[in-house]
């Protein structure tokens, strides 16, 4: 019988927040909510003694994060050799405007993940991972489109990163000024920001009679609860 996944990541030397630890979250529910809402992650690693950070799409299935790209990708080839990596995701929720320039800030939700990725070799598992990434970006799309063929699968490298070492950092709320500055005649507060899907426009070469699918018309970014 498989052991139940812990509801909380155990903080490590790499994930324990040292600055403003009250903003740290180690609960899987919180971390997975952020991962499921974002679209782009940044993957950091060391390549030939040089630090490299690459933005890429991803998808999560349970306690696993999937990354993909061309087999010619320098990043993926390095990660396929079991190079230790750091994956970060950030959602910007608003600008925080204080009465002093020093205390300006942002409201955000971020996740940091450490680990070692492994290559997904089975064609069936690779296809399943690509479906996970596709459905993460736009649920419902995978059922509409042509599946990757054998050649396309051979040209695609998929990596599997177990989620074992991770933490979240979240800032919410109004600005925090020096007590003496609260009397200044300067507006202070929050400017909320959100990522929303706008009205889609069709490909000029789209066949006549094909309408925008309902899952695209209703696409929107989930709000954090």
Other CB atoms within 10 A of residue 60 CB: 17
pLDDT digits (tens, 9 = 90+) for 34-68: 999 999 999 998 877 788 899 999 999 999 999 99
- The percent of residues above 70 in pLDDT, for the chain, comes to 95
Q: What angle do CA 53, 58, 63 make, to 5 degrees?
A: 110
**pTM for this one?**
0.90
The structural domains of the chain, ordered by start, are 21-196 (2.30.110.10)
Helix (H, G, I), strand (E, B), or coil: what is residue 106? Answer: strand
Q: What is the Cα–Cα distance from 106 to 172, expressed in whole angstroms?
A: 8
Looking at the predicted structure, is the pLDDT value of residue 221 above 50? no
pLDDT digits (tens, 9 = 90+) for 85-128: 999 999 999 999 999 999 999 999 999 999 999 999 999 999 99
Q: Contact at 8 Å (CB) between 118 and 19?
A: no
């Amino acid at each position: 019988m498989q052991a139940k996944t812990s509801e909380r990541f155990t903080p490590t030397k790499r994930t324990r927040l040292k600055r403003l630890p009250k903003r740290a979250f180690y609960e899987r529910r919180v971390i997975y909510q952020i991962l499921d809402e974002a679209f782009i992650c940044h993957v950091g690693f060391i390549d030939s003694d040089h630090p490299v950070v690459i933005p890429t799409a991803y998808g999560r299935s349970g306690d696993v994060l999937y990354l993909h790209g061309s087999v010619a990708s320098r990043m993926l080839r390095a990660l396929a050799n079991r190079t230790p990596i750091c994956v970060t995701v950030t959602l910007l929720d608003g600008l925080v405007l204080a009465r002093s320039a020093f205390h300006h800030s942002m409201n955000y939700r971020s996740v940091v993940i450490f680990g070692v990725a492994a290559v997904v070799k089975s064609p069936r598992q690779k296809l399943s991972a690509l479906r996970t990434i596709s459905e993460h970006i736009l649920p419902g799309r995978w059922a509409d489109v042509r599946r990757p063929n054998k050649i396309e699968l051979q040209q695609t490298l998929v990596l599997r990163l177990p989620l074992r070492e991770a933490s979240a950092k979240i800032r919410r709320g109004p600005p925090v000024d020096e007590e003496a500055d609260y009397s200044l005649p300067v507006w202070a507060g929050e400017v909320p920001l959100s990522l929303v899907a706008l009205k889609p426009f069709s490909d000029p070469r789209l066949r006549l009679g094909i309408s925008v699918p309902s899952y695209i018309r209703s696409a929107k970014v989930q709000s954090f609860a």
